Amino acid sequence: MKDSNFLKENNARHIWHPMGHPGELKRNTPKIIVGASDVSIEDIDGHKAIDAVGGLWCVNVGYSCDPIKNAITKQLDKLPYYSSFAGTSNDAAIELSYELNQWFEPEGMARAFFTSGGSDSVESALRLARQYHKVRGDFGRTKFFSLKKGYHGTHFGGASVNGNQRFRTAYEPLLAGCHHMPSPYTFRNPFNETNPEKLAQLCLQATEDEIIFQDPSTIAAFIMEPILGAGGVIVPHESFMPGIRALCDKYGILLISDEVITGFGRTGDWSGARHWNVKPDMMTCAKAITSAYYPFGATMIGEKVTDVFESDETGAASIGHGYTYSAHPVGAAAAVACLKETKRLKVNENAKIRGTQIFDAVVKLKEKYDIIGDVRGGHGLMTALEFVSDKASKTPLDNDSMAKIQKTAYEHGAFVRVGGHNIMMSPPLIVTEDHVNTIISALEAGIKSV
Ligand SMILES: Cc1ncc(COP(=O)(O)O)c(C=O)c1O
């Protein structure tokens, strides 16, 4: 390994980083993370901090999970790769598909289509949704509905259903036939409605209105996150996702629950859909499926969809879509080990308790500091604070102040994520009470610094 001077000098010189300006990153080079253990990361200067980002909402079982590391090593020795394109399979992927079907049995999921990550899982779900309608002979159903503020990755399909212009404008024109519904975001919404239940109803009414306007017979699927993550932890009222399910049923539209963040315990339940008592038609998973020890994902497919594909005798259900790394044996082995640990550690239960601890603490911070306009969370370990320079006008806090809060919090022992004028926290689901106390006191030091 090159020495630290070399690494610092070359940092961001030869890499273009995702989600950043290449010129800006050359001037303000990113932190170089060289190690991690338990729930903490260590940078090249030896500074350690609790990782309140959880990698990127993904390292749910923390950084020291030996069973996953051992499973990866063992699988590398046994079978480092083989394709799963029609004609060949592998034992690790078969074992994982069995586990996942059991895991998501309450949601009615019957099959797994394996991918290399969240964007892939979304892409697969959108494609399979269109194909489902075609196999049924319903050729007109091609459009996709989604929520403003939603995040569904960065493939062209995912970006087209994304609800944040930051990920869209530079790459337009995107996929035609994608329509974005109002988000149940009480702090800012076109209805000026702060009551979550009333807002949920208004968003549902607007959605039904748009479904009718677009003509239901042209709509393939509605994709949504049960709790919106990257858009700033937007927690809908409990009536919202069931309401979307009811609209999808009424108009023959498939419901895709994007569980890339919410899957495997982060909300306090084993899926976001289960958290709201909803059975989707498909679920997209990634991140926590291997706790990010290996890039891997799965699109889970419900019985309504599998019945149509598997009973087709015309050939229309043949899947002309897949990835070289679909069902990668090393990823599958990592996932089998990760799910076992996830279940053994009951990380969902801890997420619920620690999520409440963090949320209660940020509610108190909001009472103390005027620059906190809104706090969101309280459903597992997904928490956001929205910063404003002026409470009455809700003017977003400037980027330099946001960066200062993050930097100071880091110096005080916690790494938090900045997204626009939000600070988001999604630590590993194994955090303890003491870890949370450190995160909150570091964050408060950050807030005091601006
Ligand atoms: C809800 C959701 N869907 C999809 C994605 C895309 O996943 P990936 O970055 O693994 O491609 C993300 C990533 O954060 C996500 O949060």
* Among protein residues, the one whose CA lies closest to atom 12 of ligand 1: 153
289: tokens are 């499926």
* Gap from CA of 313 to ligand 1 centroid (Å): 35
Q: Tell me which of 58, 116, 119 to substitute to probe ligand 1's pocket, judged by most ligand atoms within 8 Å of the beta carbon.
A: 119
Q: Is the CB of 335 under 6 A from ligand 1?
A: no
Helices and strands (DSSP H and E) totals, the chain: 15, 16
* 55: region left, alpha or beta (phi > 0 left; psi from -120 to 50 alpha): left
**How buried is residue 394: exposed, middle or buried, by Cβ count under 10 Å (0-12/13-18/19+)?**
middle
Ligand 1 centroid – CA 151 distance (Å)? 7
Residues of the chain with pLDDT under 50: none
Q: What's the sign of the alpha-carbon dihedral 199, 200, 203, 205?
A: negative
Q: What secondary structure, in 3-state letters, does 322-389 show?
A: CCCCCCCHHHHHHHHHHHHHHHHCCHHHHHHHHHHHHHHHHHHHHHHCCCEEEEECCCCCCEEEEEEE
Cα–Cα separations (whole angstroms), residue 170 to 77, 153, 160, 167: 43, 15, 12, 7
Answer yes or no: pTM beyond 0.95.
Answer: yes
> Which residues are registered as beta bridge partners of 300?
112, 283
pLDDT of residue 1: 72
| Calpha distance 113→119 (Å, rounded) | 13
- List the domains of the chain with CATH numbers: 31-61+346-448 (3.90.1150.10), 68-344 (3.40.640.10)
Distance between first and last Cα of the chain? 38
Centre of ligand 1 to C-alpha 435, Å, is 26
How many Å apart are CA 388 and CA 398, to the nearest integer?
8
CA distance 194 to 232: 16
| Token pair belonging to 174 | 């995107």
The residue whose C-alpha atom lies closest to atom 5 belonging to ligand 1 is 153
Q: Residue 151: CB within 6 Å of ligand 1? A: yes
CA of 303 to the centre of ligand 1 (A): 24
> What is the H or E stretch that residue 217 is in?
none
Nearest to 290 by CA among 247, 236, 329, 232: 329
Cβ of 224 closer than 6 Å to ligand 1, yes or no, is no
| 230 CB near ligand 1 (under 6 Å) | yes
216 lines ligand 1 (CB under 6 A): no
β partners of residue 329? none
Instruction: Tell me what pLDDT residue 146 has.
Output: 99
| Ligand 1 pocket test target in 124, 166, 287 with most atoms within 8 Å of CB | 287
Which of 48, 99, 46 lies closest to 71 in space, CA to CA? 99
CB 71 within 8 Å of CB 293 = no
Q: What CA–CA distance (Å, rounded) separates 41 from 196?
A: 37
How far is ligand 1, taken at its centre, from the CA of residue 154, in Å?
8
Tokens of 366: 């909001």
Q: Whose CA is nearest to atom 10 of ligand 1?
A: 118
* Residues in Cβ contact with 266 at an 8 Å cutoff, skipping those fewer than 6 apart: 57, 60, 288, 351, 380, 381, 382, 426, 429
H or E element in which residue 423 lies: strand 422-425
Which ligand 1 atom sits closest to the C-alpha of 57?
Answer: 14
Q: How far is CA 289 from the centre of its chain?
A: 12
Largest Cα–Cα separation, the chain: 66
Residue appearing with tokens 């956001």: 384
- Map residue 417 onto helix, strand or coil: strand
